[in-house]
Amino acid sequence: MTASPELQREMLRQMQTIRRFEERASDDYHNGAIYGVVHCYIGEEAVAVGVCSALNKDDQIISNHRGHGHCIAKGADLNRMMAELYGRQDGYCKGKGGSMHIADFSIGMLGANGIVGGGLSIVTGAGLAAQLEGKGRVAVCFFGDGASNAGSFHESLNIAARWKLPMLYVCEHNSWAANTSSRMTHARDDVASRAAGYGIPGVVVDGNDVLAVYEAATDAVARARAGEGPTLIECKTYRWRAHTERPGAADPRPLEEIAAWMAKDPIQHLVDDLKQQQGQYSDAEFQALDDAVMSAVAAAVAFAEASPFPAPEAALDDVFAD
Amino acid sequence: MREISYARAGMEALVEEMRRDPTTIHLATDAPPSLVEEFGEARIRATPITENAFSGIAIGAAGSGLRPIVNWSMVTFCFVAMDQIVNQASKIHYMFGGQQTFPIVFRSSVGGGTSLAAQHSQSPYSMFMNLAGLKLILPATPYDMKGLLKSAIRDNNPVLSFESTRLMGFKGEVPDDDYTIPLGVADVKRTGSDITVVALAWLVHEALAAAEEMAKEGVSVEVVDPRTLFPMDNETIRASVQKTGRLVIADEAGPTAGAAAEIAALVTEDAATFAALKAPPKRVCALQVPIPYSPGLENHVFPDRNRIIAGIREVMAAG
Ligand SMILES: Cc1ncc(C[n+]2csc(CCOP(=O)(O)OP(=O)(O)O)c2C)c(N)n1
Ligand SMILES: [Mg+2]
């Protein structure tokens, strides 16, 4: 199914929001307002947005260490995201999670996760719950090419295929796991081809083309809702920034490789698509969109700054539920 | 009152709770036919041999409204799922700021005494006591098994149920009607006035036998069973030691950084209990080695009633 012009504009807004949010997160990390570690999603925005645009609010997703984009695409509140990065009381996790653990169960965002491959089985459990509930919900796993080599990938896909769980496994193949090229680690570079071993569809899409991602996801969601089981979708994409924002961290990736992918900017790709649709889009319109996005990000920072740090004793809260 | 086995009591708790709550599901590498017959294949899942995956699946299902009961079979097999237990289950509620509950029970058998050698004779519960975010039960009788397991299934947190291999066939009184035993409440299995033996699982029964033996010599032994390792019922243990002034701790696991070490610490770091001590506490545990196969070797490694008696005599002699 192709996306309506309105939906395409909404996708553009979300992608630009992710881009600007990440730029700000990076800046604020470097100026000390955000702690620990931040993994930026810049360059991969079309994957999260394309997939989540094919979902309903009550569908569920799980993310990995590079999770801000998935949160935003699933509809998370920028204010509470930024407050979490700032370690504040009004953050999604009351300052207990930080960048690698933002979750919002109320919108079906089951959390970022600091363990590579850790989310694969957890979200498969959400798929099992969706199947037993029988209301047509689906569950989606976002994971990297690095995670695709973990044992949990095989265990989870085999189970999901055998049980025909309503799931999408979305591999963000950016060719690097931290500072290791997938050429060094993958027996075969395509991850989607493994789907054959589980008897499920394996689809390769241009992960920088949000409309292509959306179409692949829409098909897979329809299949899942129809009770036909999971789909493995491999999105070829690239991260523009180093693995983490940590100062001085090595980035062994060739500059020409980075430049070549930056020339395939997923946001520019959609702007071009919109323009091609005969006068549907103007530069002024994009400028207005960006202004609105910038003020939403600025408002999120203001919200975060206004939120108090949690009381130290709050460290003892929420170890157990009542 | 009727008598049923420890294993049967566990099965009754499971079946009754699954009848009570349609959101419960069962995940294990084998699907017991009686459960499949009653609850169907949708709720009683035979998983592939993927402890890591089905432990994670339980977490995701719990966070999505179900109440999974996982059976790892032997505790041995949970070690391939350590990522999901340690990095995910124990922390997920806290890490996400308490926004979602994760009601899961992970069942497994522990202990030795059956010549299964090192990998299949483990009692590693203290490893999990050291993590914040998991509750741990360790029943010693059919009555406790049923009541604790029911509470575990109804609890809104991940609970690990450690079940003693040696006690599976052990029979005891279990009422017909529904009852639960709250987590975190120890049970004084025998009252006494001269010395406290805090014993775990199978060693509760060895301690009771030792107490019987010591009574003949005029030594009155109190036997305390913590029943849950987290939360630990510090008050009951301290109150008993304040009364008797002496403490032996008996555990089938090794002593190093074990449950017995924790119990010794919670007694000695409490000023009033420390002041009441007449002699240093004594741990009667397995020797700190992997469990060997040959019966003579295995018996040498594990504590039993005789070693508890020796421990009691040592503490009585010390003051
Ligand atoms: C089990 C585990 N091993 C190692 C790490 C350290 N680590 C964090 S992210 C990462 C690379 C992940 O690569 P990929 O899955 O391709 O995701 P990407 O960062 O490319 O989005 C590594 C090795 C980890 N978090 N978890
Ligand atoms: Mg990668």
> Cα A217 to the chain's mean position, in Å?
14
3-class secondary structure per residue, A1-31: CCCCHHHHHHHHHHHHHHHHHHHHHHHHHHC
pLDDT reported for residue A278: 76
pLDDT at B70: 98
- For the Cβ of A176 lying below 6 angstroms from any atom of ligand 1, the answer is yes
Please state, in angstroms and rounded to a whole number, the distance separating the CA atoms of residues B221 and B238: 15
Contacts of B59 in chain A (CB under 8 A): 121-122, 125
The tens digit of pLDDT for each residue in B255-291 reads 999 999 999 999 999 999 999 999 999 999 999 999 9
pLDDT on residue A135: 97
ipTM of the modeled complex = 0.91
The residue extents of the domains of chain B are: 3-173, 187-318
Average pLDDT for chain B: 97
Considering only CA atoms, give the Rg of chain A. 19
DSSP states of A99-131: GGG--BGGGTB----SSTTHHHHHHHHHHHHHH
Give CA A198 to chain center in angstroms: 25
Query: Torsion over CA of A240, A243, A248 and A254, rounded to 10 degrees?
Result: -50
User: Is the separation of the CB atoms in B33 and B169 below 8 Å?
Assistant: no
Which H/E stretch holds residue B105? strand B104-110
Name the residue among B60, B5, B54, B62 with its Cα closest to residue B30: B54
Q: A147: CA distance to ligand 1 center in Å?
A: 7
Instruction: Give pLDDT tens digits for B232-257.
Output: 999 999 999 999 999 999 999 999 99
Helix (H, G, I), strand (E, B) or coil at A175: coil
Residue pLDDT, tens place only, B47-104: 999 999 999 999 999 999 999 999 999 999 999 999 999 999 999 999 999 999 999 9
| Best residue in A155, A157, A158, A316 for a mutation probing chain B (most B CBs within 10 Å) | A155
What pLDDT sits at residue A248? 85
In chain A, the domains with their CATH numbers are 5-306 (3.40.50.970)
| A82 touches ligand 1 (CB under 6 Å) | no
pLDDT at A2: 85
Q: Mutual orientation of helices B202-216 and B305-318 as an angle, nearest 10°?
A: 60
What's residue A244's pLDDT?
Answer: 96
Distance (Å, whole) CA A48 – CA A174: 13
Q: Tokens in use for A300?
A: 């999120």
d(CA A147, CA A258): 22
Residues A242 and A29 sit within 8 Å (Cβ to Cβ): no
Instruction: Find out whether B17 and B150 touch, Cβ atoms under 8 Å.
Output: yes
Long-range contacts of A84-87 (CB under 8 A, 24+ apart): A85/A25, A85/A28, A85/A34, A85/A38, A85/A304, A86/A28, A86/A33, A86/A34, A86/A304, A86/A305, A86/A307, A87/A34, A87/A35, A87/A309, A87/A310
Rounded Cα distance between B240 and A304, Å, is 51
**Domain B187-318 in the same topology as domain B3-173:** yes
A319 and B96 within 8 Å at the Cβ level: the answer is no
- Rounded CA separation B271/B214 (Å): 29
Q: Give A205's strand partners.
A: A235
- Are the beta carbons of B111 and B166 closer than 8 angstroms? yes
Which of A95, A124, A319 has the CB atom closest to B53's CB atom?
A124
Q: What is B187-318's CATH number, 3.40.980.10, 3.40.50.720, 3.90.1170.50, 3.40.50.920?
A: 3.40.50.920
Distance of CA A135 from the midpoint of ligand 1 (Å):
34
Strands A180-181 and A139-144, by their bridges, are: unpaired
Q: Which chain B residues touch A if contact means CB-CB below 8 Å?
A: 25, 42-43, 45, 47-48, 50, 52-66, 68, 83-84, 87-88, 92-102, 132-133, 135, 156-157
- Residue-wise pLDDT for A46-61, tens only, equals 999 999 999 999 999 9
Check CB contact under 8 Å for A121 and B57: yes
DSSP-derived pairing of the beta strands B195-199 and B171-173: unpaired
DSSP 8-state code for residue B254: -
> What SS3 state is found at B106?
strand
pLDDT band at B297 (very low <50, low <70, confident <90, very high): very high
Looking only at the bridges linking them, the beta strands covering B171-173 and B3-5 are antiparallel
Q: Which ligand is nearest to the CA of A39?
A: 1
DSSP code at position B136: E
Residue with token string 């002593």: B255
Catalytic pick among B26, B93, B120, B300: B120
Question: Which helix (H) or strand (E) segment is B107 a member of?
Answer: strand B104-110
Question: Per-residue confidence of chain A (322 residues) as pLDDT tens digits?
Answer: 789 999 999 999 999 999 999 999 999 999 999 999 999 999 999 999 999 999 999 999 999 999 999 999 999 999 999 999 999 999 999 999 999 999 999 999 999 999 999 999 999 999 999 999 999 999 999 999 999 999 999 999 999 999 999 999 999 999 999 999 999 999 999 999 999 999 999 999 999 999 999 999 999 999 999 999 999 999 999 999 999 999 988 899 999 999 999 999 999 999 999 999 877 899 999 999 999 999 999 999 999 999 999 999 999 999 999 9
Q: Record the tokens describing residue A267, joined without a space.
A: 């946001």
Instruction: Look up the CATH architecture of domain B3-173.
Output: 3-Layer(aba) Sandwich (3.40)
Check B96 against A91: CB less than 8 A apart. Answer: no
B134-167 pLDDT, tens digit per residue, is 999 999 999 999 999 999 999 999 999 999 999 9
